[in-house]
C-alpha cells in the first residue's frame, strides 16, 4: 500500500507508514488442558514438562496449517524452532512434507515419537542443530538451483521478555535471538512466512518485521510497504497468541477477506496486538485494518 508522507502526520521523517489487517479467531473449547494441546491422541504423545507452555494448541496449529495448505504454493514446508512438534505434526497430518529443526535433541526425539503416534513420520524430516548453521547449509544448496519452501513457519522461544509490557522481537529466547535476523537468514528460501508471536508484540512491530523481510527479498522501497496479516487467537476473554503472515500467503489470504469499512489510525499509538484485538471485539468486529508508523530495522 502507498505510504503517506510522514510530515503530514507530524512524525519523524525517518519513519515509514504501513497498513496491517488484523483478524480475530475464536478457539474451540476442549474438555481438558491436554486435549486443548494435542487433541484426541494426547495420552500417547511425549514432551518434557517444561515444554508444555511452548506447545501450540492443536486447534491453532490446525488453523495455521489450513492457511498454509490453502494459500501457500508447494507442498514442502519448513518448521523452524519446532519444539516437540505440535505444528510439524499438524502440517504432516494435512499431507505436507515437513522439514523441521530444533536445537534440543530431546525435543527432536519427542517430535519423531509424536509424528509416529499420528502416523506421519514418513512425511517429517527432522534435524537437530543450530538454526543459523542449518539454514546456511540449506541455502548454499537450494539458492543456486532456485529451490524454495512453499512456506516457512517460525515459532521462536519467547523467553522472559514475555513479561514486559511491549514484547521486543529483537530480544527473543534467552535475549540474544532477533526475529529480524532469523527471518533475514531464511528469506531467500520462500515467498510465504508464518511467524508465531506473543500477544504483547506492538502492532507496528508486526509491520516492521514484514517490511524487513520485504527489504531483504529486494521488494522494499520508501514508497511501498506490503501489508501483513495478523491473526489473533482468543479463547473466551483470553488472548492466547498471534500469528503474523508475511509475503504471498498474506496477500493471497487478504484477497478472501472483506476489507473493513475504515482504517484505524495508530500512527501515534504503540498498541499491542492484544489491545487491537480487544478494541475490535468491544465494537463487535473480527476484522480490522490499522495504519501504523515504524522505523525500519537497521
pLDDT at residue number 36: 63
Confidence of residue 5 (pLDDT cuts 50, 70, 90): very low
Indicate whether 32 pLDDT > 80: no
Inter-axis angle of helices 179-186 and 203-216, nearest 10: 30
Contact 38, 58 (CB under 8 A): yes
pLDDT tens across 68-118, in order? Answer: 999 998 899 999 999 999 999 999 999 999 999 999 999 999 999 999 999
pLDDT at residue number 47: 76
Domains present along the chain, CATH in parentheses: 6-294 (3.40.50.150)
Three-point CA angle 196, 269, 222, nearest 5°: 75
pLDDT at residue number 221: 62
At 204, phi and psi to the nearest 5?
A: -70, -25
Q: What is the pTM of this model?
A: 0.93
- Residue 207 is inside which H or E element, if any? helix 203-216
Q: What's the chain's average pLDDT?
A: 91
Contact 98, 194 (CB under 8 A): no
Confidence of residue 218 (pLDDT cuts 50, 70, 90): confident
Indicate whether 61 pLDDT > 90: yes
Count of C-beta atoms within a 10 Å radius of residue 78: 26
Q: Greater confidence, 49 or 286?
A: 286
Indicate whether 135 pLDDT > 90: yes
**Nearest residue to 217 via CA among 244, 195, 246, 177:** 246
pLDDT tens across 228-284, in order? Answer: 999 999 999 999 999 999 999 999 999 999 999 999 999 999 999 999 999 999 999
Amino acid at each position: 500500500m502507498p505510504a503517506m508522507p510522514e510530515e503530514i502526520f507530524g512524525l519523524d521523517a525517518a519513519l515509514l507508514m504501513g497498513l496491517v489487517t488484523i483478524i480475530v479467531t475464536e478457539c474451540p473449547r476442549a474438555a481438558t488442558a491436554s486435549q486443548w494441546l494435542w487433541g484426541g491422541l494426547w495420552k500417547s504423545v511425549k514432551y518434557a514438562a517444561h515444554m508444555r507452555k511452548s506447545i501450540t494448541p492443536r486447534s491453532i496449529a490446525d488453523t495455521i496449517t489450513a492457511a498454509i495448505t490453502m494459500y501457500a504454493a508447494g507442498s514442502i514446508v519448513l518448521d523452524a524452532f519446532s519444539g516437540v512438534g505440535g505444528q510439524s505434526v499438524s502440517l504432516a497430518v494435512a499431507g505436507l512434507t515437513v522439514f523441521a529443526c530444533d536445537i534440543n535433541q530431546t525435543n527432536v526425539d519427542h517430535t519423531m515419537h509424536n509424528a509416529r503416534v499420528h502416523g506421519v513420520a514418513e512425511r517429517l524430516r527432522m534435524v537437530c542443530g543450530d538454526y543459523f548453521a542449518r539454514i546456511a547449509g540449506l541455502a548454499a544448496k537450494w539458492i543456486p538451483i532456485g529451490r524454495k519452501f512453499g512456506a516457512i513457519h517460525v515459532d521462536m522461544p519467547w523467553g522472559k521478555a514475555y513479561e514486559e509490557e511491549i514484547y521486543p522481537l529483537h530480544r527473543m529466547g534467552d535475549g540474544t535471538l532477533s526475529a529480524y535476523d532469523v527471518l533475514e537468514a531464511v528469506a531467500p528460501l520462500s515467498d510465504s512466512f508464518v511467524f508465531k508471536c506473543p500477544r504483547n508484540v506492538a502492532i507496528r512491530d508486526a509491520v516492521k518485521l514484514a517490511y524487513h523481510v520485504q527489504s531483504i527479498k529486494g521488494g522494499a522501497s520508501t514508497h511501498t510497504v506490503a501489508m501483513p496479516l495478523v491473526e489473533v487467537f482468543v479463547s473466551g476473554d483470553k488472548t492466547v497468541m498471534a500469528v503474523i503472515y508475511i509475503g504471498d500467503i498474506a496477500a493471497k489470504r487478504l484477497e478472501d477477506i472483506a476489507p473493513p469499512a475504515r482504517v484505524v489510525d495508530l500512527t501515534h499509538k504503540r498498541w499491542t496486538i492484544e489491545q487491537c484485538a480487544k478494541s475490535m471485539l468491544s465494537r463487535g468486529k473480527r476484522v480490522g485494518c490499522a495504519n501504523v508508523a515504524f522505523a525500519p530495522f537497521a
